[in-house]
Amino acid sequence: MSLLSINEVVDELFEAELNGIVVDKFVDRCPELNNQKIAYQIQDELIIRKKLHSGSRIIGRKLGLTSAAKQQMMGVHEPVYGVLLDDMLVDEQEEVSISSLIHPKIEPEIAFVIGEELKGPGISAPEVLKATSYVMPALEVIDSRYRNFSFTLLDVIADNASSSKFVIGNRTRNIKGLDLGLTGMLFEKNGSLVSTSTGAAVMGHPARAIAWMVNKLGEKGISVMPGDVILSGALCEAIAVEPGDYIRASFDGLGSVAVKFSV
């Protein structure tokens, strides 16, 4: 087996997404990929490549693996973050075509829209809430480029935290008077209940997850900017989807968001 350079890892991940094919995890194939700094460097280079290819722009960020359910499912014990590009955003009225994807799964999340710059270190959850313009119900479609969704923490960071598409509900909600930790959520597939959860499943409170990311980004001198959309991480396990599936997440006080999958 020949060993890969960082550039070759970026190439493989880029091609895998473009052509809808899987790759094997890289930690065993790229000796340089042995710490998070390198993993995020690969993610950064991958995003630059994607932007160059499609002219897309960064519209926000995402957290992943923020709930115990997701960490257990994926066999990791730390959250990760990634980038949201404008061409990942799907309108609720559009159908998501499965054939361009590898093995998509979907998960319910709370999306935050930031109103004031947030720059770590030292940012706390209350400061995130203070800087938040509004929140919205969201669904994230993840599509790991790794065979069987099998990866280590470093691999999933490199792969932009499995991000593929996301949908946000069309109702915005000011967070004043809301306790997002206590926000209940129903997750349904084709009208049948799949899971229930609450906001506290995400690191005790979704704003805590965002604070964690802001502080991590701060180490690199990066801020979260006004207008950024942040997906705070799935409230429960992701489920696989097939053509024809209709998925909906409803949140107490936030409304619901739904999406339909086609061939």
Q: How far is the CB of 1 from Mg ion (least distance, A)?
A: 32
Does position 155 interact with ligand OOG (CB under 6 A)? The reply is no
Best CA proximity match to 16, nearest among 181, 160, 202, 125: 160
Two tokens at 14? 């880029």
CA angle 13, 16, 19 (to 5 degrees): 145
81-95 burial string, b = 16+ CB within 10 Å, else e? bbbbbeebbbeeeee
Residue 30 or 128: the one with the smaller Cβ distance to Mg ion is 128
Tell me the number of residues near ligand OOG by CB under 6 A.
Answer: 15
Residue from 12, 17, 107, 245 in contact with ligand OOG (CB under 6 A) = 107
Does position 167 interact with ligand OOG (CB under 6 A)? The reply is no
The DSSP bridge partners found for residue 184 are 198
Could you tell me which stretch among 7-15, 92-100, 117-125, 154-162 binds ligand OOG (CB under 6 A)?
154-162
* Distance linking the first and last C-alpha atoms of the chain: 36
Alpha carbons 12 and 173: distance in angstroms, whole number: 40
Residue from 70, 145, 173, 248 in contact with ligand OOG (CB under 6 A) = 70
Does position 210 interact with Mg ion (CB under 5 A)? The reply is no
Q: How far is the CB of 49 from ligand OOG (least distance, A)?
A: 20
Alpha carbons 86 and 4: distance in angstroms, whole number: 30
Two tokens at 151? 């990866």
Could you tell me which stretch among 85-93, 195-203, 228-236, 255-263 binds Mg ion (CB under 5 A)?
228-236
Question: Out of Mg ion, ligand OOG, none, which partner does residue 74 contact, by CB within 5 to 8 A per kind?
Answer: ligand OOG
Biggest distance spanned by C-alpha atoms of the chain: 57
Residue from 16, 65, 90, 213 in contact with ligand OOG (CB under 6 A) = 65
What residue is closest to ligand OOG based on CB?
A: 64
User: Footprint of ligand OOG on this chain (CB under 6 A)?
Assistant: 64-66, 70, 74, 107, 140, 142, 144, 149, 156, 161-162, 233-234
